[in-house]
Each structure stands twice: as structure tokens, then as C-alpha cells.
Chain A
Amino acid sequence: MNNRAGIVAMSCACLLLVSCEREARRFQQPAPTAATPQAVPGSDIRAGAQPLTKATPNPAEQNAYAVAQGKRLFVWYNCVGCHAHGGGGSGPALMDDKWLYGAEPVNVYRTIVEGRPNGMPAFGTVIPESQVWQLVAYVRSMSGLLRPDVAPGRDDDLAAVPPESRREPAVPKTAK
């Protein structure tokens, strides 16, 4: 009886602490990190038996405000020009399960920062790092990979697709 009560209390506490992270509005961006992106290979395919890339989490994916900022920037920085609202056009679709360069946050980060062959520009010098992570979080939400309480709801705009929070997760084919 004590154990069960304890578990319920702990779950409530965890749910509530999750709330703290989801609802935080961090206006002061953290300083650019010297971390990972350089160390992460662009693709999981390599010769010989090697451990697959470890998933490195993107803190922005726990924060609803950050993902909402990513959604805003996706329009402001004209990602929609090539990718539309996820369905793709001259650029590939972003809301499906096909990820050419990997679906992990660091993979998407490198795509945005370094650009990719066949038309994806390199935005690294013109989009600050914290905003790139917000865009990464949003891009992954387009495939329904984020928790529904963090993913954005509908936009105040024409609605061609269900809101990100209501999409079935399109599990990336390149994941292990």
C-alpha cells in the first residue's frame, strides 16, 4: 500500500516536473556549445562493424516554447519555400519517415548548418545556434516524433495538414 501510494506520488511529481521543462520560456539563449556536431558523422553508413550513432537529445524538444519558435522560424526563414509545410516541393518532404541524412537531432542540425547537396543551403552563418536547435525540434515534430504535449497545435493559418501534436509518429526508417 505504501509502495503504491509512493509510486503514484512520484508519477505526479514527475509529471509536474516535466511541466516545468515544457513550459519554460528561456529568453536568454545559452552560449554556443563547442559540442558534438563536428564529431557526428553525416551518415550512419560506414564500412566495417561499428556502433551506430548514439542518440543525443535536443533539449529544445522538451520545451513547447522552443518548438513553437521553431515553427515560426520555419516560415520566417522560408523553409516553406522548398519544403512547404512538410509535404515538400523542390525540397524533400519532412513529415514522412524518409530521412536522407539521419533523423537524429544532430543529423538535422548538420543539415541545416552545413547544407546538403542538390540545393539545401548552408545556414550556419546566418542562423544562430539556439535557433537551429529550435528548427531541429520543429522539423522532428513534423513527423510526429515529439511528445504530444510539447508539439505545436494548429497555426492561425490555412490548415492543410493536422497539427503536429496530432500526427501519428512516422518512425524514421534510418533509425536502428
Chain B
Amino acid sequence: MAAARARVPRSAPAIEADGDLHARLSRAWGREGGVAGWFSDIDHKTSGVRFIVTAFGFFVAGGILAALMRLQLSRPENTLIGPDLYNQIFTMHGTTMMFLFAVPMMLGVGVYIVPLMVGARNIAFPRMVAFAYWVFLFGGLMLYTAFFFNAGPDAGWFSYTPLAGPEFTPGKRSDFWAQLITYTEVSALLVSIALITTIFKLRAPGMTINRMPHFVWAMLVTSFVVVFAMPAVMFASTSLITDRLVGTHFFNPAEGGDALLWQHLFWFFGHPEVYLIFLPALGMISMIIGTFSRRPVFGYPGLVIAQIATGFFSFGLWVHHMFATQLPEVGKAFFTAASLLIALPTALQIFCWIATLWTGRLNFKTPLLFVLAFFVILVIGGLTGIMLGSVALDLQIHDTYFVVAHLHYVLIGGAVFPLFGAFYYWFPKITGRMLSETLGRWNFWLFFVGFNVTFFPMHNLGLQGMPRRVYTYPADMGWNVLNAIASVGAAMIAVSMLLFVVNVAVSYRRGARAGANPWSASSLEWATPSPPPPYNFAAIPVLGGREPLWEEKGIAGRVEGLDVDTPMALVTTLVDAKPDHRSIQPTPTPWPFLSAVALTMFFVGSIFSPWAVVWLSIPVTIAVTIWFWPREQETQEHLALERRP
């Protein structure tokens, strides 16, 4: 196709489109109304909000499970919850938080924000992203349905063999776990591919690779980590299902398999997994610190390299989860070195952010508060991580409450706090309303204090000998007081979450109206109305700098020549974002949803019988074929556009 010609007008493009343009663009990029339209929607903003809301629902579910655990552990030898139910609860808590909340949430925020941030009208492969959402939702529903019918997995979120294997977990519990992995891994892989493509090929002209915002870099690195890490856990979970269902011997030492194989496969995924959760949050922190320090974040190249280094080196740490096994000591020492040295890129980022805060002018709004908590909580978590990275010390504190403390400090401090900052930051953009500052501060302080009250005592508990994954503990070990304190903290966290939900519910209807750029931020998502129309930008901007809304020539022009009545994207080159060609984008369709339904039948059926793989692949094939089958009328219209653009 002919390259688009970008003219450079005297003023930046208008944010709002005028009536006729708005109507035509909305028709091109929007969806039908009604129930059918709801299932056919492929707008990235819809998919993003669906991911975010659903993941938050799972966050609440996981939180309720945690509250039950803390209730049981608040007293020694408590009989509130017996061992079988407790094992299911802590397994469901870990599985929910890691697979159904953290990764989908981060990817969901990426799905919503990244296209806006790079100046695109929709994400690449929007139908695939919609399909990924439905797969995620159905996977989570399958797991919770199993849980409510006493078939919830009970072998830990990490599901070690042989405990999770066919001999020691009878019934279908571990099979539901393994199949959930398949769902969430397919979902994450597909979203990652879409994000990589969007970031590489759909950036607005002028957004060269060194003008990309930090959150975009974060999602790019995260997506690559997903692509390389997820297949390991897919292989592991599939091997587990075949061991259980058809009698393969991957993890059977008597027939040539190895129980340790599971650990290698799982942790090769499992360590990058936590960085999947951490990396997007680092991007969120950069965006928020920049906006609320009223200056661009210091050290752009350093921050980018740190992100990439963290993502890359995260693949070299996995054995630190296996230090208590009988692997060779020299090998383990290598992983000690790697585990400690990966702190360096994160340290670089922290120092750059502190330098930004030091030289900036600070607007202490709620998003910034949540990000500031990171500097306390994540740093503590990172330092206990250094302790855990040493083989000798890890032999004492591995599998104790010290690790429980560490992992919550890094995950909650490093990811959930920045995520809440991102909620407060981007809620106005998504809904057009501001969240309440007062409720936000209460939310923040209750969460911050409650979090530390819950998890700091666990460091001591671990050092004083309390192992993890125990449904009760003896009364004479000296652990009673700290456990009681931790349970009180959990109650505080629960209240703070309630405040957040109330804040969202109230502000959604009655919050102060937000304009396009309530925080006076600098990135492109703030150059659209709040909430953005289906087509995002009235005109795709041409960028002239790294901070488009702050610099005088930040937006140097706008793109002309894209069809207004057909969804058409401008594909640009990878490094320099020069316009390359125009690409006609997909229109809404219900077939991603229907394919996900067929796939769910396939996945659930194959838990019960290997024949499901044969017979239930037929509906999947049919659904996906209909999805991809070219439509005659559409093809004619596209050909006509090609001949006469």
C-alpha cells in the first residue's frame, strides 16, 4: 500500500473529534449494541477493562482465602479449618493470586494502556486478545467451580510431584490445577504476542524506540518473558496430566522419570513468573513518578537497560527454589551469584527514581503515595531476597514463614502497591471520573500499616522455626503472639480493600469529572478524552519528543490518509517508527467467544477422558475455522480500498 503522507500542521491535533468525524470513526472502530454486540466486542479498551475487573474479582477471592487462613492460624491448634480444607485453601490462594490475579491484571492494564500510549487506535490482533480474555475467564471459573465441589487442588500452587501425582492425590484435584495452567498460559501467551506486535509495529510515527514510555518498555520485556517462560510450565502441567490420566512416567522414579524434573520445569517458569508480575509494576512506577515529580524520570537509558537485564537474567535464578535438594553444591553457588546480582538492575532503577524525586517537585496525590510505599516495602523484600539467595542461609529459612514474608514483601510491595497507584492514576482515563482523594489516603494508609503488621512478624516466625503450609502449630513453640498479630494485620488489609471497592463504586457514578489530562501528565494516553472514544485518537499524532504533552514540539503533527470509515491502522517500522504501510484491522465478531467456549469443553473434557482430545477438538476446529474464514463482502471491500485508497 502507498505510504501515508504525514503533514506537519501548525498546531497539535485536536483531542476531540468533531461530530461527523466522531460518528464515522466510531462506526468504524466501535461495536454493535445489544447482547450479541457485547460478546463481539474486540476493542482493546473493553478487553482491558474485562481483564482488570475479572482479575480484581479473583484478587478479592484470593484475599478471602487468605483471610480464612489467617483466621485458622490466629490461634495455636485451632480447629476452625481441618487439614484437607486448609490445604485446598492455601493452594487456591496461591494459584488464584499468581495465575488468576497478578499476571492477567498486569497484562490487562497493558492491553488497555499500551495502544493509547503508543498512539494506536487498537491493539494488534484484537480478536485474539478478546479470545485470550474469555479463555482466562473460563479457566478461572472452572477452577472455582471445582473448588466449590470439593475438587479444588490441594497440593500447593507449585504442585510438587509425587504429592500431586496419581498415587498421592487421588481424584481430579490436581488435574483441575494442571488444566488451569493450560488456560492461563494460553491466555498470557496470546496477549503477549499481541502486545509485542503492537509495541513493535503500531507505534505512532516519530515514537522512535528511545522515545517509548517506560510502561511500554516494561510491557515489551514482560511479554518476551512470557513467551519464553510459559512453555516450560505448559510442558510440566501437561506431563502431570498425562501421568495422572494415561499413566506416563515423567515423574515416576521407578520407571526412569524423576520427581526433581517437575521442580526444574516448574521453577524455570516460576522464577520468571514473579518477574512477569514485577516488571510491569516497574513501568507503572516510572510513569507515576514522572508525572508527580513534574519532570521526566532521570536516566532513561539506564532504566531501559535495567528492565531488559531484569527480564533476561530472571531466567538464570530458578534453582534458588531448590537449594534444599541434593543438587551439586557448585551449581547452587552459581545460582546464589545470579540471585544476588539480579538486584543490581533493580537497584539502578531505584536510584534513578530517588534521583528523580530528589530533583523534582512533588505532587503528593494518592497514586504517588502508593508508589512511594514501594520504596519501603520492596526494598525490604529485596534485601530478604538477598538473604534467601545464599545457599547456606536459605537452608535454614527455606520453606518457613520467612519466605512467606519475603514473597509478600516483594510481590505486594513491588507489584500490588504500584498497581493500586496505577488504578488511582488511570481510573480517570478509563472512566472519566476521579477517585476520591480522601478515601484513597485511608485506603493507602490502612493497606500500608496493615500489610506491615501482617507480614513483618513472619520474618521472626520463620527464623524461630515455623515452617510454611501448616494448618496449625503447637501452643508451646512461642509462635502464638506473632501469629495473632499477623492475623490482626490481615483484618486491616481487608478493611482497606473494602475502602477501595467503596471508592470505586462511589466515584464511578459520582466522582469529579476528569478531563483529558487531570494529572497534567506527559504520555500520549492523556491526549484523548476520558474515557477515550472507540477510535482513541481523533488523529494519530506524529511525535517529536519523549514527553509529547510536555515538550513544545512533543506532538509534531498528525497522520492523514487513513480511511475514516474502515478500521485502518498505520504500521510503522520497528526502531524509527517511520510509516510503513496501512493495515486494515479486524471488525467485531462473536467467534473468539464461541471458540473459547469450545476450547473450554475440550480442556474440561480432557480432564476426564483422553478421548475428549479427539472428539472435542471437532467443535474447536469448527469454531476457529469460522472465526478465520474470510468473509466475501469484507474481502471485496478491502480489495476496493487497496485499489483506490
Determine if chain A interacts with chain B. yes
Q: Which of A64, A67, A156, A158 is packed against the most chain B CB atoms within 10 Å?
A: A156
Asked whether A155 lies within 8 Å of B609 as measured between CB atoms, the reply is no
Selected contact of B165 from candidates A20, A149, A156, CB within 8 Å: A156
Asked whether B162 lies within 8 Å of A156 as measured between CB atoms, the reply is yes
Asked whether B172 lies within 8 Å of A163 as measured between CB atoms, the reply is no
Q: Please report the C-alpha to C-alpha distance between residue A23 and residue B150 in the assembled complex, in whole angstroms.
A: 6
Asked whether A19 lies within 8 Å of B608 as measured between CB atoms, the reply is no
| Neighbouring A residues of B149 by C-beta, 8 Å | 16-17, 19-20, 23
Within 8 A of A (CB), among B228-273: 243-247, 249, 251-255
| Besides the known contacts A19-B172, A157-B254, 17 further A-B residue pairs in the complex with CB atoms under 8 A apart | A16-B145, A17-B149, A19-B149, A19-B151, A20-B150, A24-B150, A64-B170, A65-B170, A148-B608, A150-B171, A153-B167, A153-B244, A153-B247, A154-B167, A155-B166, A156-B252, A159-B252
Q: Please report the C-alpha to C-alpha distance between residue A159 and residue B602 in the assembled complex, in whole angstroms.
A: 29
| Neighbouring B residues of A19 by C-beta, 8 Å | 146, 149-151, 172
Pairs of residues from A and B, 9 with the lowest C-beta to C-beta distance, nearest first: A153-B166, A68-B170, A64-B171, A64-B170, A19-B149, A154-B247, A23-B150, A163-B247, A25-B84
Asked whether A158 lies within 8 Å of B255 as measured between CB atoms, the reply is yes
- B interface, size bucket: 20 to 34
Asked whether B167 lies within 8 Å of A65 as measured between CB atoms, the reply is no
Asked whether A67 lies within 8 Å of B162 as measured between CB atoms, the reply is no
The answer to whether B173 has its CB under 8 Å from any CB of chain A is yes
| Neighbouring B residues of A166 by C-beta, 8 Å | 246-247
Q: Please report the C-alpha to C-alpha distance between residue A20 and residue B167 in the assembled complex, in whole angstroms.
A: 20
The answer to whether A162 has its CB under 8 Å from any CB of chain B is yes
A-B contact pairs, 24 of them (CB 8 A): A16-B149, A19-B149, A19-B151, A20-B150, A22-B151, A22-B172, A24-B150, A67-B170, A68-B167, A149-B171, A149-B172, A149-B608, A152-B170, A153-B167, A153-B243, A154-B167, A154-B243, A156-B254, A157-B167, A157-B254, A158-B254, A162-B247, A166-B246, A166-B247
Contact surface of B with A, Cβ cutoff 8 Å: 84, 145-146, 149-151, 162, 165-168, 170-173, 243-247, 249, 251-255, 608-609
| Neighbouring A residues of B165 by C-beta, 8 Å | 153, 156
| Neighbouring A residues of B249 by C-beta, 8 Å | 154, 159
CB distance from B66 to the nearest CB of A (A): 23
CB distance from B242 to the nearest CB of A (A): 10
| Neighbouring B residues of A153 by C-beta, 8 Å | 165-167, 170, 243-245, 247
Q: Which of B84, B166, B170 is packed against the most chain A CB atoms within 10 Å?
A: B170
Q: Please report the C-alpha to C-alpha distance between residue A152 and residue B165 in the assembled complex, in whole angstroms.
A: 11
Asked whether A65 lies within 8 Å of B254 as measured between CB atoms, the reply is no
Within 8 A of B (CB), among A148-176: 148-150, 152-159, 162-163, 165-166
Q: Which of B84, B168, B171, B244 is packed against the most chain A CB atoms within 10 Å?
A: B171
Q: A65-B171, A158-B254, A159-B252 are in contact. Are A152 and B166 (CB under 8 A)?
A: yes
Selected contact of B172 from candidates A23, A67, A156, CB within 8 Å: A23
| Neighbouring B residues of A157 by C-beta, 8 Å | 167, 252, 254
Asked whether B166 lies within 8 Å of A163 as measured between CB atoms, the reply is yes
Asked whether A23 lies within 8 Å of B609 as measured between CB atoms, the reply is no
Q: Name the residue on B nearest A151 (C-beta).
A: B170
Q: Name the residue on B nearest A16 (C-beta).
A: B149
| Neighbouring B residues of A163 by C-beta, 8 Å | 166, 247
CB distance from B606 to the nearest CB of A (A): 13
| Neighbouring A residues of B244 by C-beta, 8 Å | 153
Q: Please report the C-alpha to C-alpha distance between residue A113 and residue B173 in the assembled complex, in whole angstroms.
A: 33
Within 8 A of B (CB), among A1-46: 16-17, 19-20, 22-25, 27
| Neighbouring B residues of A158 by C-beta, 8 Å | 254-255
Q: Which of A25, A150, A162, A165 is packed against the most chain B CB atoms within 10 Å?
A: A25
| Neighbouring B residues of A154 by C-beta, 8 Å | 166-167, 243, 247, 249, 252
| Neighbouring A residues of B609 by C-beta, 8 Å | 148
CB distance from B143 to the nearest CB of A (A): 13
Q: Name the residue on A nearest B148 (C-beta).
A: A16
| Neighbouring A residues of B166 by C-beta, 8 Å | 152-156, 163
CB distance from A10 to the nearest CB of B (A): 15
Q: Please report the C-alpha to C-alpha distance between residue A114 and residue B343 in the assembled complex, in whole angstroms.
A: 68
Q: Please report the C-alpha to C-alpha distance between residue A20 and residue B246 in the assembled complex, in whole angstroms.
A: 23
Q: Please report the C-alpha to C-alpha distance between residue A153 and residue B251 in the assembled complex, in whole angstroms.
A: 13
Q: Which of B162, B251, B255 is packed against the most chain A CB atoms within 10 Å?
A: B255
| Neighbouring A residues of B255 by C-beta, 8 Å | 158-159
Q: Please report the C-alpha to C-alpha distance between residue A162 and residue B171 in the assembled complex, in whole angstroms.
A: 17
| Neighbouring B residues of A155 by C-beta, 8 Å | 166-167
| Neighbouring A residues of B252 by C-beta, 8 Å | 154, 156-157, 159
Q: Name the residue on B nearest A24 (C-beta).
A: B150
| Neighbouring B residues of A24 by C-beta, 8 Å | 150
Q: Name the residue on A nearest B84 (C-beta).
A: A25
Q: Please report the C-alpha to C-alpha distance between residue A155 and residue B167 in the assembled complex, in whole angstroms.
A: 5
| Neighbouring A residues of B150 by C-beta, 8 Å | 19-20, 23-24
CB distance from A92 to the nearest CB of B (A): 25
Q: Please report the C-alpha to C-alpha distance between residue A22 and residue B607 in the assembled complex, in whole angstroms.
A: 14
Q: Name the residue on A nearest B171 (C-beta).
A: A64
CB distance from B231 to the nearest CB of A (A): 25
| Neighbouring A residues of B247 by C-beta, 8 Å | 153-154, 159, 162-163, 166
Q: Please report the C-alpha to C-alpha distance between residue A79 and residue B173 in the assembled complex, in whole angstroms.
A: 28
CB distance from A131 to the nearest CB of B (A): 16
Q: Name the residue on A nearest B149 (C-beta).
A: A19
CB distance from B637 to the nearest CB of A (A): 37
| Neighbouring A residues of B168 by C-beta, 8 Å | 156
Q: Name the residue on A nearest B166 (C-beta).
A: A153
Q: Name the residue on B nearest A149 (C-beta).
A: B608
| Neighbouring B residues of A150 by C-beta, 8 Å | 171
CB distance from B529 to the nearest CB of A (A): 42
Q: Name the residue on A nearest B255 (C-beta).
A: A159
Q: Please report the C-alpha to C-alpha distance between residue A24 and residue B154 in the assembled complex, in whole angstroms.
A: 12
Q: Name the residue on B nearest A69 (C-beta).
A: B170
| Neighbouring B residues of A165 by C-beta, 8 Å | 245
CB distance from A12 to the nearest CB of B (A): 9
Asked whether B146 lies within 8 Å of A156 as measured between CB atoms, the reply is no
| Neighbouring A residues of B254 by C-beta, 8 Å | 156-159
Q: Name the residue on B nearest A68 (C-beta).
A: B170
| Neighbouring B residues of A64 by C-beta, 8 Å | 170-172
User: Chain A, 44-75, contact with B by CB distance < 8 Å: what is the 0/1 string?
Assistant: 00000000000000000000110110010000
Q: Please report the C-alpha to C-alpha distance between residue A22 and residue B171 in the assembled complex, in whole angstroms.
A: 7
CB distance from B547 to the nearest CB of A (A): 54
Q: Please report the C-alpha to C-alpha distance between residue A159 and residue B243 in the assembled complex, in whole angstroms.
A: 12
Q: Please report the C-alpha to C-alpha distance between residue A79 and residue B244 in the assembled complex, in whole angstroms.
A: 24
| Neighbouring B residues of A148 by C-beta, 8 Å | 608-609
Q: Please report the C-alpha to C-alpha distance between residue A131 and residue B162 in the assembled complex, in whole angstroms.
A: 24
Q: Name the residue on B nearest A17 (C-beta).
A: B149
